[in-house]
Amino acid sequence: VSFRDFQFAQAMRFAITEINNRSDLLPGISLGYKLYDSCGSILHGVRGALSLANGNEEVLVSSETPCTRSAQVQAILGETSSSACVAIAPVLGPFHLPLISHFATCACLSDKVKYPSFFRTIPSDLYQSRALAQLVKHFGWTWVGAIRTNDDYGNNGMATFAETAQKLGICLEYSVSFFRADPPEKILNIIKRIRQSVSKVIVTFLTPNEVAVLITALSEHNVTGYQWVGTEAWIFDSKIMAMDKKHILDGAIGLSIPKAYVSGMEEFMMDVRSLNTSGNQLFTEFWEELFNCEFNAETYHKRCTGTEDLSQVDNSFTDMSLMPIFNNVYKGVYAVAYALHKILKCNKTCQTDVNLDPHMILQHLKNIHFQTKEGEEVYFNENGDPTAKYEIINWQPTAQGTVDFVTVGLYDASLPADRQLTLQNVSIYWAQNSKQVPISVCSSACSPGTRKVLQKGKPVCCYDCVLCAEGEISNSTSTTCVQCPPDFWSNVQRDTCVRKETEFLSYEEIMGALLTAASLFGTCMTCVVACIFFRYRKTPIVRANNSELSFLLLFSLSLCFLCSLTFIGRPSEWSCMLRHTAFGITFVLCISCVLGKTIVVLMAFRATLPGSNVMKWFGPLQQKLSVVGFTLIQVLICVLWLTISPPFPFKNVKQFTHKIIIECAMGSDIGFWAVLGYIGLLALLCFVLAFFARKLPDNLNEAKFITFSMLIFCTVWITFIPAYVSSPGKFSVAVEIFAILASSFGLLFCIFIPKCYIILLKPEKNTKKNISKDGDVTLGAILSFHSSWINTLHSYTQKPNPLQCT
């Protein structure tokens, strides 16, 4: 005899009695009932449902008031288990006979195609499975075991849990199933699997019968210390609690139907004397089982008198912990009553001539919406399910050795996802009386600065922690490394992005200071040379070297030295445009002057030949115009460059990972190489001309010095190209400055320092006679450019000289 099933029957009888005593609900109509015992067998359940659907009911209780019309079943309440409902519901579907369950939670029963007439007053396991997954995730358990009943309830519930858990990053170390009738060997294998596992949390989808079998086996093998997570099927079942003698389930946490109270129900259920008056054999067995006596007892056994007092009994029948489920039975009866109330168009009376069709009951049940006397709203959704609400129950042992079912939280599926699960400010008792939440993970959480790398052949919850790559970070909330923004870089711990160091050639650093000093030194030297030349401008050596081009060359050299300063300091829009254009123009001006001096030497000696008339094509005016012309071409190139695609400041974040190079982007590479190429072309032309003039008389022949200066110039800029391309960051700017200074110093030293040496240290050689010795033709030719070159040239060519003889 199952006291639980008798309690469900008593709950149904209470609801029917209450409805029949009401005048506002089905006035003038009395509800009757038939009870079938399925004996825990699916086959018996289907047989009883078919008997009710066919109208071949066996009268179990004789009614004192005979019915005025033939009995017709309008709805069936039950079954308790999901597997029984899965078998019965398809049978009743073609008859359109509603089946309303108070405890069948399998999500599969929400399929209206397979089970069109099924309703229930308990939430679907679809919501319970999701709620369990969220609960497990809330406590950080990502590596759990799973045990389920091998039936529709366990298999479907666990499948939904596993699917939701996977989305939440929870892995099942194992998932095993069994049925209460399985051989002991299978139970032992489950015990062995639990012991071998790493996980300390076990999620269950078990019916009370399977829990009882499992608890017995665990107790025999002394398996303790695991955190159990249960469903509404057993988490608040006091019968299971009483069986757990070794407190294996202490600290268990799970979901239960919210507590309920129905006034008058407990008193009605405890009134069992009326059950004994029926004289039915079934209730006789119930009475004997309830009071542990026999009506026809032998002398050695307690005899039943029929007047036993239930207040002296303490068993599962007197336990009201399943009141929420009794309330589900109560709501199911009332749902049928309200549907009949609408069909019979009841007001003060009901129309008894209405032909009751089960199909009509089915349609009205879908749209039913009412409140119980306790204020609870009852309605079904499109799947025949009620709103899913659960309480989170924790098994907390007491000093008396019992267990209290303490509510520690709530779950409401009707709320937004982030607010469905709420835990109250109540201390939770964990397994083994631990004050800390049990840890059940395959791999510990990665520390900030690391990322997860999955272990080969294992679920996603098993991983190794690897340090993030340079430029990437991870924090406590992320599981992967993320790239730092372009202007930032990861610190050593790889948990924070720090701003990158900016780098450019500045005046404050040693290299920048040295280059600045070299530039200023070159400028000062150029100014000193210019002063010397100006002071001795009337001496033969200054006059013979074309003083106008010399001063213009010195001026351009000073600009060359100074333009290198524009390359130092933080690049800006104006400095980027100025540095390359100033460099290009000043160097062309410089090379143009050197080229003019080279041509003067060549033309001077060419003019001494008999019948030569070349000097009239390269007089002082033509020399100046050539310098201006060559320079204007470079100016035109620079203007086009600045107009089409000018240089601009640029943050180079790719060349170095840990710092930002602030440099000047060329804008147009063609413009940059055109400027350099034009300078190189003039320098090459100057070098070739000076090379041809290198064997002219020595006293005044500066072609050799120009050749050496151009050789240095070309060497510097040829080596500049690979050095510039391969130099990283600010060093490429330093290479360019060095090339500018080296070539400028080369021109200054090779062309002017020898003359300054003669002017300052060897003044005896700075005479017209000394300069004319063995080379008076040269002197005459050079001096002729100072306005009287024709007459002087004529006087000197009348004298014999080695060149004429040759």
pLDDT recorded at residue 545: 63
Higher pLDDT, 622 or 120: 120
Helical (H) or strand (E) element with 780: helix 776-783
- Sorted by where each begins, the domain ranges of the chain are 3-55+71-122+264-379, 125-256+388-423, 450-499, 510-610+671-763
In the predicted structure, residue 790 carries a pLDDT above the cut 60: no
Distance between CA atoms of residues 30 and 352, nearest Å:
11
Model confidence pLDDT, tens digit, residues 440-488: 999 988 889 898 888 988 898 999 999 999 889 988 766 789 998 888 8
pLDDT recorded at residue 785: 36
> Among 788, 607, 593, which residue's Cα sits nearest to residue 696?
607
Model confidence pLDDT, tens digit, residues 47-57: 999 988 887 44
Model confidence pLDDT, tens digit, residues 109-118: 999 999 999 9
List of E strands, 357-462? 369-371, 377-379, 389-397, 403-412, 421-423, 450-454
Contact 161, 203 (CB under 8 A): yes
Span 359-388, average pLDDT? 93
pLDDT recorded at residue 105: 92
pLDDT recorded at residue 613: 56
* Phi and psi angles of residue 9, each rounded to the nearest 5 degrees, phi first: -65, -40
Q: Which of the residue ranges 27-41, 271-285, 476-490 has the most confident prediction, judged by mean pLDDT?
A: 27-41
Q: By percentage, how much of the chain surpasses pLDDT 70?
A: 88
Higher pLDDT, 54 or 186: 186
Tokens 């005896």 map to which residue? 764
In the predicted structure, residue 806 carries a pLDDT above the cut 50: no
pLDDT recorded at residue 798: 39
Q: What is the pLDDT confidence band of residue 357, given thresholds at 50, 70 and 90?
A: confident
Name 273's Cβ contacts closer than 8 Å, sequence gap at least 6.
Answer: 306
What is the crossing angle of helices 82-92 and 42-54, to 10°? 30
- Region of 546 (left: φ > 0; alpha: ψ -120 to 50; beta: rest) is left
pLDDT recorded at residue 791: 38
C-beta contacts of 430-438 below 8 A and 24+ residues apart: 430/227, 430/251, 431/200, 431/225, 431/226, 431/227, 431/228, 431/250, 431/251, 431/252, 432/224, 432/225, 432/251, 433/250, 433/251, 434/251, 437/139, 437/140, 438/139, 438/141, 438/200, 438/201, 438/227
Distance between CA atoms of residues 474 and 381, nearest Å:
45
pLDDT recorded at residue 626: 82
pLDDT recorded at residue 331: 97
Tokens 């829990």 map to which residue? 211
Distance between CA atoms of residues 493 and 473, nearest Å:
8
- Region of 500 (left: φ > 0; alpha: ψ -120 to 50; beta: rest) is beta
Helical (H) or strand (E) element with 489: strand 488-490
pLDDT recorded at residue 195: 94
Lowest-confidence segment of 61-75, 239-253, 631-645 by average pLDDT: 61-75
pLDDT recorded at residue 356: 78
- Region of 447 (left: φ > 0; alpha: ψ -120 to 50; beta: rest) is beta
CATH architecture type of domain 125-256+388-423? 3-Layer(aba) Sandwich (3.40)
Model confidence pLDDT, tens digit, residues 292-321: 888 877 766 788 887 888 877 888 888 888
pLDDT recorded at residue 276: 63
> Which is it for strands 201-205 and 143-149: parallel, antiparallel or unpaired?
parallel
In the predicted structure, residue 389 carries a pLDDT above the cut 60: yes
pLDDT recorded at residue 69: 57
Instruction: Report in angstroms the alpha-carbon separations of 553 from 227, 549, 760.
Output: 93, 6, 20
pLDDT recorded at residue 429: 93
Model confidence pLDDT, tens digit, residues 390-419: 999 999 999 888 899 999 999 999 899 889
- Region of 524 (left: φ > 0; alpha: ψ -120 to 50; beta: rest) is alpha
Lowest-confidence segment of 169-173, 243-247, 562-566, 770-774 by average pLDDT: 770-774
Model confidence pLDDT, tens digit, residues 486-539: 888 888 889 889 988 888 888 888 998 999 999 999 999 999 999 998 888 888
Lowest-confidence segment of 119-128, 278-287, 391-400 by average pLDDT: 278-287
In the predicted structure, residue 604 carries a pLDDT above the cut 70: no
Model confidence pLDDT, tens digit, residues 414-438: 899 889 999 988 889 998 777 789 9
pLDDT recorded at residue 688: 83
pLDDT recorded at residue 616: 58
Q: How many residues are recorded in the chain?
A: 806
CATH 3.40.50.2300 fits 3-55+71-122+264-379, yes or no: yes
Q: What is the pLDDT confidence band of residue 804, given thresholds at 50, 70 and 90?
A: very low
In the predicted structure, residue 653 carries a pLDDT above the cut 70: yes
Q: Which of the residue ranges 77-81, 330-334, 566-570, 595-599 has the most confident prediction, judged by mean pLDDT?
A: 330-334
In the predicted structure, residue 58 carries a pLDDT above the cut 60: no
Is it true that 3-55+71-122+264-379 and 125-256+388-423 share their CATH fold? Answer: yes
Label residue 656 exposed, middle or buried (CB < 10 Å: 0-12, 13-18, 19+): middle
pLDDT recorded at residue 793: 35
State the pTM of this model: 0.65
Q: What is the pLDDT confidence band of residue 70, given thresholds at 50, 70 and 90?
A: low
Distance between CA atoms of residues 409 and 249, nearest Å:
19
Model confidence pLDDT, tens digit, residues 713-766: 888 888 887 887 787 778 888 888 998 899 889 888 888 888 888 888 888 887
Tokens of 143: 């590596």
